[in-house]
Each structure stands twice: as C-alpha cells, then as structure tokens.
Structure 1
Amino acid sequence: MAKMGSRKHLKRFKSPVHWPIHPKEDKWTVKPSAGPHAIEESLPLLIVVRDILKVADNAREAKIIINNGDILVDGRARKDYKFPVGFMDVISLPKAEKVYRVLPDHKGRLILHPISKENAEFKLCMITDISTIKGGKTQLNLHDGRNSVVEKAYSSGDVVVVEIPDQTVTDHIKFESGTVGLITGGKHIGELGKVKEINITKSSKPNTVEIETDDGTFLTLADYVFVLGTDKPVISLPGGK
C-alpha cells in the first residue's frame, strides 16, 4: 500500500513551495501526472479547483467537478485531477462564466489571474527550441510542452500567439530590444520591464538581458524573460499592468 501511495501521491513537505497547501495538515497531497509542465513549475488540477478557486470543499468534490468536464485548460476539458497546470495556461469554468490565466506573483507562486473572454481566446507560448522535421518542415518546441509546425521563420526566445482550443499559431512577438517582458525566474520574478539590451555571450555562460523598469535597471538571464508585446503587454496582468 505504501508503495502504491508513493506513485499516486506526494509527501506534503516535498511539494513545491508555490503550492498553496500547508505541509503539516496531512502527510500526503496529490502528485501531478506527467504532462506539459514539470512538477516544479505546475499545480495539479485538483489543487487549483479546491485550494485556489475554492469551488470544492474537499478532494472528493473537486474530483467530481473535474471528472464532469467542468474545468477547461486551454479550451479543452481535462478530467484527470492530477493534470499539471502551469504558466500561461488558460483555465475556464464555463458554468460559472469565469476564466483565468496562470501567472507568477512576486514570490514565485503561481496564481490565477481573472481575464476577459476576449483575452481567453489565446495563450502565449515561448519558443524554447526549433527543429527541422520530415519534409524539411520547421517545428517549434514551446515552453508548455506542445509542438507546432510552421512555415514562417522564428527564433528561440520569441513568443507565439496560439489560438485556443484549436492550437493555431496566429501571431508572434520577437525577442528583441524594445519589447516588454515578464520575468519568470530569479529574484525579479513577476516583474514587468522593457528589454533594454540582450547580451549574447558566445560561450558556455548563459545569455543575459538588461531590463529597464520605473525603479531602474537590472540584469537577468535571457531564459527568464518572456516577452509580452512590443509597446505594451498583449495580455492583462495583475494590478492592471
């Protein structure tokens, strides 16, 4: 029995710090399924429904809601209560007519930011890698685990606009100086700023980016910069940014 529990569950004290659960309340919590986001960068759908949205009082009620197909992730019903929800995912509750986007706060915790129906028709995905597949076609590997075959030229670090639920790439934001970026890691996580300069190291050291904000400038890793628009973000952000 203990061995089976270790596969299906996760000890609370080993859960990521951004999960909104108390490590001393119970010994076990739900363990995310293998999916589009790593465990350190995601929340199990059950925790989203019960602990963040609070539309269920306990795990049993949350599982029923999820199994009924009442929770959509990126426009599609997800009936696995362990499904990993992560950065930029769009969470919809059609019956309640509520939609949220998963974003980081200034403490690195994932939060659900309420958005409009218009804002919910797309999500943003960063290109983490580009490969050539059979037939000489270009495949984009995106931060949320999905792949997209395209005809246009893109670069790693660019962000594509993906329609949901049909997953069509409709536009893209180039990773370049002058764009607006959200910091997704490091001590400046959750901050919004302008990309002032991109420093290409041409060595084993990671590329860095100089970010300009109203409070000054700072340097961060290029991998931590998720561009949201050219002059202003194309999505709504907490605090009306």
Structure 2
Amino acid sequence: MAKMGSRKHLKRFKSPRHWPIPPKESKWTVKPSPGPHSMENSLPLLIIVRDILRVADTSKEAKKIINRGEIFIDGRPRKDYKFPVGFMDVVEIPKTGETYRVGLGEKGALTLQPIKEEDKNFKLCKIIKKTTLKGGKTQLNLHDGRNHTVDENFKVGDVIKLKIPQQEIIDSISFKEGNLGLVTGGKHTGEIGTIKKITITRSSMPNTVIIETQDKKSFMTLKDYVFVIGEKEPLIQLGG
C-alpha cells in the first residue's frame, strides 16, 4: 500500500503551501500528473473541483464529474483528476456557465478569478525560451508548457495572447519599460505596476526590473519574476 501511495498520492504535509487543503485532515492527497505545470506551480484538477469551486463534496464525486468531461481547461475537457492546472489557465464548467482564470493571491497562492464569457477564449502565455529551427522558423517555449512555432520575431519575456483552444496568436505584449507587469515570484508576488526600468547585466548577477505601483511606490524584483499583462491597461482581470 505504501508503494502505491507514493506513486498516486502525496502526503498532505508535503504538498505545496498554496494548496487549499487542511494538512491534518487526512494523510494523503492527490499527486498531480506530469504535465504543463510543475507541482510547485499548479493545482491538481480534483482539488480545484472539490476544495476551491466546491462543486463536489468528496473525492469520489469530483472524480465522477471530471471523468464525465464536465470540466474544461483552456477550452478542452480534461478527464484526468490529477491534471495540473496553473497560472493563467482558463477553467470552465459549461454545464453551469461558470468560467475562471487562474491568478495569484497572497504569498503566491493560486486563485480562481471569475471572468466574463467573452474572456474565456484567450489566455496570456509568457515566452520563457526560444529556439531557431531549420528553415528559419522559431519555436517559442511558453510558461504553461506549450511550444509554438512562429515566423514573427518575439523576445524572451514577451507575452503572447493565445486564442484557445485553437492556439492561434492573436496579439502580443512586449517586455519593455512603460508596460504593465505582474510579479509572479519573491516577496512582491501578486503586485501589479508599471515597468520603470529594466537592468540587463553582463555577468552572473541576475537581471532586475523596477516596478512602480499605482500609488507611486517603487520596488526592485527579478526580471524572471515579471509577467507583462498589458500596456496602459491590463488585458485580463486578476485578483479580487
């Protein structure tokens, strides 16, 4: 039994802090499947259905709902109750008409923000790496595990607006001074502000960004922690 539990389950006290489950309620919780997001940056679909959206009272009920294909992630039904759902993913329950986008709350906790019907057909994806392919095309590696082949010239750190589930690029936001950034790591996680200065170092020191919030407070964070979400106005709604 212990061996089986180690493969399919995770001890609750070892689960990431952002998971909304009481650590003492039971010994085991669901372990995410390998997928687009790492365990540290995602929530298993079962936890979303049972513990966050509360459309099921028990694991058994949640598994039935998921197995029937009633929960869509990024426009596609997902029947794996262990499927990892992460930042910027769109969660939809067509049966009830409810749609949410995964955002960031206090201390980096993943939250589900209700969104309008017209906003469910796109998501924002950050370019974390790019590779030149044969024929001169470029492959973009996105933060949610997707790979996208393009002809256009994008930079690492830029964000693309992706139509889902078709996965067509419909817009992009450059990582540059003057645009709006959401901090996704460090002590300022969840804060939004204008990118005032980007410092690129030519050494082992990390690249940094200075962000100015709406109330004119400024702070420095790592470049890798900044996710651009718009120019003058955010393209999505995050937070409360």
Q: Normalising by structure 2, what TM-score?
A: 0.98
Counterpart of 2:94 in structure 1: which amino acid?
P
Counterpart of 1:158 in structure 2: which amino acid?
D
Mapping of residues 101-120 of structure 1, within 5 Å: 101-120=101-120
1:108 deviates by 1.1
1:236 deviates by 1.5
Match for residue 6 of structure 1? 6
1:154 deviates by 0.4
RMSD: 0.8
Match for residue 230 of structure 2? 229
1:107 deviates by 2.1
Mapping of residues 214-225 of structure 1, within 5 Å: 214-225=215-226
Counterpart of 2:115 in structure 1: which amino acid?
I
1:136 deviates by 2.4
Match for residue 178 of structure 1? 178
Report if the CA contact (8 A) 1:128-1:156 is conserved: yes
Structure 1: runs of 5+ lacking an equivalent? none
Alpha-carbon separation, structure 2, partners of 1:179 and 1:106: 23
Between 1:78-87 and 1:198-207, the stretch displaced more is 198-207
1:170 deviates by 1.2
Match for residue 189 of structure 1? 189
Match for residue 128 of structure 1? 128
1:117 deviates by 1.1
Match for residue 211 of structure 1? 211
Structure 2: runs of 5+ lacking an equivalent? none
Alpha-carbon separation, structure 1, partners of 2:17 and 2:228: 25
Mapping of residues 1-241 of structure 1, within 5 Å: 1-213=1-213, 214-239=215-240
1:215 deviates by 4.6
Alpha-carbon separation, structure 2, partners of 1:31 and 1:115: 28
Alpha-carbon separation, structure 2, partners of 1:76 and 1:206: 37
Superposed CA offset, 1:134-163 (max 9, x none): 322111000000000011100000000000
Q: Normalising by structure 1, what TM-score?
A: 0.98
The count of residues paired between Structure 1 and Structure 2 equals 239
Superposed CA offset, 1:12-33 (max 9, x none): 0000000000111100000000
Counterpart of 2:217 in structure 1: which amino acid?
G
1:45 deviates by 0.2
Which stretches of structure 1, 4 residues or longer, exceed 4 Å deviation after superposition?
A: none
Alpha-carbon separation, structure 1, partners of 2:165 and 2:98: 16
1:202 deviates by 1.1
Alpha-carbon separation, structure 2, partners of 1:7 and 1:215: 49
1:119 deviates by 1.1
SS in 1 for 2:82: coil
Alpha-carbon separation, structure 1, partners of 2:149 and 2:52: 35
Report if the CA contact (8 A) 2:104-2:239 is conserved: no
Alpha-carbon separation, structure 2, partners of 1:104 and 1:237: 7
Aligned identity (percent) is 64
SS in 2 for 1:62: helix
Alpha-carbon separation, structure 1, partners of 2:22 and 2:127: 35
Between 1:196-205 and 1:132-141, the stretch displaced more is 132-141
SS in 1 for 2:135: helix
Between 1:87-96 and 1:135-144, the stretch displaced more is 135-144
